[in-house]
């Protein structure tokens, strides 16, 4: 590990972008700004003025996981679809920042994390004089729901393995298993897009979801065909996107993981369930600083 992994980081300066929300269809303007050491990731709804508009990211703040991760605060101020931005923040080792947005949902951009990586690259990264702590997995944690499951297992590095199976021949059965760091995330996962089925669109829109979805921001499947004219970015783009989602969903812990995540047919709900299960078993993990000279100070 490079010395930069021993310390916390924030963005070097503010960066602004805008786009539409996948589910709300709302046009939202976003500013990512530096934050103090140990502040964590905090979303601020600048369009909310009558209640507390700050929504700190925690595992307990996750209030909804249907086709995306939604967080809220004690005043029920919500921010939706945080997972792709959270995955980019995790991969680029941004521990602390403020994300201001003037609407209810993080823009979907192209459906992947790559635009967020590019945005954070523009902002730059600044080392902070505070020790970075990792959540080290000491004992296996698993949650199940029917044939779906998610696990956290001990490992001396952050690994993500995922497997999916769909009846559509466009997807079929796919698996990915990676050691995840900034380099591998950029090369192997960041550009992989979210996906959905034409058959589900009307039902989702009827319950207020997927109103901003299009082939500009998702891989769209009709039966056994991918409808996007440009096709897939990778043959196994689908499972790689699920791994990307898991990285973002795990980062609601507020600290990077030293351990292995395994997901089988899992989604945002099970990702959050395994995080909560971990926190409920304090003997299954510990906080650890990796810098030898600094470890005793933690």
Choose among 111, 117, 115: nearest CA to 232. 111
d(CA 253, CA 57): 8
Burial 131-162 (b: 16+ CB within 10 A, else e): bbbbbbbbeebebeeeeebbbbeeeeebbbbb
Q: For the chain, state the CA radius of gyration.
A: 18
Is 9 marked within a binding site?
A: no
23: annotated active-site residue: no
Is 23 marked within a binding site?
A: no
Query: Residue 33 is inside which H or E element, if any?
Result: strand 27-34
Sign of CA dihedral 289, 184, 262, 150: positive
The catalytic position among 9, 23, 27, 268 is 268
Is 84 marked within a binding site?
A: yes
Question: Look-up: residue for tokens 């920042």?
Answer: 97
CB-facing half-sphere around the CA of 191: CA atoms within 13 A? 10
Catalytic amino acids? 268
Residue ranges for the known binding site for Zn(2+) are 84, 241, 245
Residue ranges for the known binding site are 84, 241, 245
């Amino acid at each position: 590990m490079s010395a930069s992994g021993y310390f916390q980081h924030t963005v070097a300066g503010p960066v602004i972008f805008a786009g539409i929300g996948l589910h709300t269809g709302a046009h939202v303007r976003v500013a990512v700004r530096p934050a103090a050491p140990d502040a964590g990731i905090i979303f601020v709804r600048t369009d909310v003025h009558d209640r507390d508009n700050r929504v700190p990211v925690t595992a307990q703040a996750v209030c909804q996981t249907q086709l995306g991760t939604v967080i809220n605060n004690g005043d029920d101020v919500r921010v939706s679809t945080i997972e792709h931005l959270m995955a980019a923040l995790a991969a680029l080792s941004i521990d602390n920042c403020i994300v201001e947005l003037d609407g209810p949902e993080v823009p979907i951009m192209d459906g992947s994390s790559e635009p967020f990586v590019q945005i954070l690259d523009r902002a730059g990264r600044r080392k902070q004089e505070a020790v970075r702590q990792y959540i080290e997995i000491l004992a296996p944690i698993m949650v199940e729901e029917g044939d779906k499951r998610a696990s956290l297992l001990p490992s001396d590095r952050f690994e993500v393995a995922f497997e999916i199976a769909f009846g559509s021949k466009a997807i079929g059965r796919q698996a990915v298993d990676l050691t995840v760091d900034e380099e591998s995330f950029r090369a192997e996962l960041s550009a992989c897009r979210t996906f959905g089925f034409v058959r589900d669109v009307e039902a989702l829109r009827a319950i207020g979801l997927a109103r901003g979805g299009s082939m500009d921001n998702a891989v769209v499947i009709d039966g056994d065909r991918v409808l996007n004219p440009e096709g897939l970015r990778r043959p196994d783009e689908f499972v790689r996107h699920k791994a990307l989602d898991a990285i973002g969903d795990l980062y609601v812990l507020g600290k990077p993981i030293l351990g292995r995540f395994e997901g089988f047919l899992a989604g945002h709900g099970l990702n959050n369930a395994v995080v909560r299960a971990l926190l409920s078993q304090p003997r299954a993990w510990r906080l650890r600083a990796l810098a030898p000279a600094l470890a005793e100070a933690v």
